[in-house]
Amino acid sequence: MKVAVFSTKAYDRKFLSAANSPTQHELVFFEPRLNRDTAILAAGFPAVCVFVHDQVDAPTLELLASRGTRLIVLRCAGFNNVDLQAAADLGITVVRVPAYSPYGVAEHAVGLILSLNRKIHRAYNRVREGNFSLDGLLGFNLHERTVGIIGTGKIGLILGQIMKGFGCELLAYDVYRNPQLEALGGKYVELPELFANSDIISLHCPLTLETHHLINAEAIEQIKSGVMLINTSRGALIDTQAVIEGLKSGKIGYLGVDVYEQESELFFEDLSGEIIQDDIFQRLTTFPNVLITGHQAFFTAEALHNIAETTFANIADVEKGHPCTNEIRAQFSA
């Protein structure tokens, strides 16, 4: 099948090309993101492969459908950037990669926890400047601390396993209980109890209408003072302005995020020579107790290999008319 691959970097080309060998599909790589302006590039392609920040809205889908596209292949898990109802109306099938880096994301969350707690990022810069003072670098033992995990699917479970290894107590919230987490000693509670009793809160849930701005001003009022808040899931789970106020008041003692609700204008690009216009993001970077990474939690060799393999398996299923377990339809929540 002829596939137009948007938002491609060098690593995308490397792993997708390797998984496509021996050549099964004709891949054409485009660096720009897919949107209604760039959709013309996919003219004549029956399949279009996209990533998290491509805009697969109704106007873009209409343009794609009018030029022969019948398959949208997401090389990611999230799909809130796709108008599923419009795709269904146009006869376009949408598939995704539901799980590709649960260990990578969970381990990155732990990396943020350790770095924030022991101020490793600050200590690194101090030592490079010949400053060996320990003032301001005081941390705390993770042992016997309480970790609240919101979302206990594959990633949340792995985080629980790792934190249990540190000797942490586990609280959890999810609409579906995971018996494997309960077997670790994790206790499911309602959000107010989790907020009030957790020393560390880590978010691992999808973005839905119900979880949008899950961490807002009201939630911050309920959290334990000085809490560490970690988000490696979806940026819009957090009301960034409310979190800034929480940081200023000291209610939030630490913030580690790999995602940001307006990240599509920033992440995956080198903006080091430009003036960033997002004042809210820039305010976040001024706090000494905030650590931000640019949506790299998924970014492991294993994950990119899994993404490529699943992407082509999805294409093969659709091409052969087989049922695809990774197809998503309008009744799903992104």
* Per-residue model confidence as pLDDT tens digits over 39-64: 999 999 999 999 999 999 999 999 99
| pLDDT surpasses 80 at 21 | no
Structure tokens at 69: 């596209």
Alpha carbons 3 and 102: distance in angstroms, whole number: 27
Q: Using one digit for the tens of pLDDT, what is the confidence trace for 159-179?
A: 999 999 999 999 999 999 999
Out of 136-145, 244-253, 267-276, pick the least confident: 267-276
Instruction: Enumerate long-range contacts of 97-101, CB under 8 Å, 24 or more apart.
Output: 97/306, 97/307, 97/310, 97/311, 97/314, 97/326, 98/326, 99/154, 100/298, 100/303, 100/306, 100/307, 100/310, 101/297, 101/298, 101/299, 101/300, 101/302, 101/303, 101/306
Alpha carbons 77 and 334: distance in angstroms, whole number: 9
Q: Using one digit for the tens of pLDDT, what is the confidence trace for 94-119?
A: 999 988 889 999 999 999 999 999 99
- Find the mean pLDDT for residues 328-334: 68
Structure tokens at 106: 């969970």
SS3 47: strand
Residue 333: what pLDDT? Answer: 45
- Find the mean pLDDT for residues 187-216: 96
- Find the mean pLDDT for residues 268-287: 95
Residue 254: what pLDDT? Answer: 98
Q: Burial-class residue 118 by CB neighbours within 10 Å (0-12, 13-18, 19+).
A: middle
Residue 3: what pLDDT? Answer: 97
Alpha carbons 30 and 26: distance in angstroms, whole number: 13
In degrees and rounded to multiples of 5, residue 187 shows phi and psi of -110, 125
Q: How confident is the model at residue 80 (pLDDT cuts 50, 70, 90)?
A: confident
Residue 100: what pLDDT? Answer: 85
- Find the mean pLDDT for residues 8-33: 93
Torsion on CA atoms 204, 207, 210, 213, rounded to nearest 10: 80
Residue 312: what pLDDT? Answer: 95
Q: Quote the percentage of the chain above a pLDDT of 70.
A: 99
- Find the mean pLDDT for residues 173-199: 97
Annotated active-site positions, please? Answer: 234, 263, 295
Q: Using one digit for the tens of pLDDT, what is the confidence trace for 227-261?
A: 999 999 999 999 999 999 999 999 999 999 999 99
| pLDDT surpasses 70 at 147 | yes
Q: Quote the percentage of the chain above a pLDDT of 90.
A: 92
Quote the pTM value: 0.92
- Average predicted confidence (pLDDT) for the chain: 95
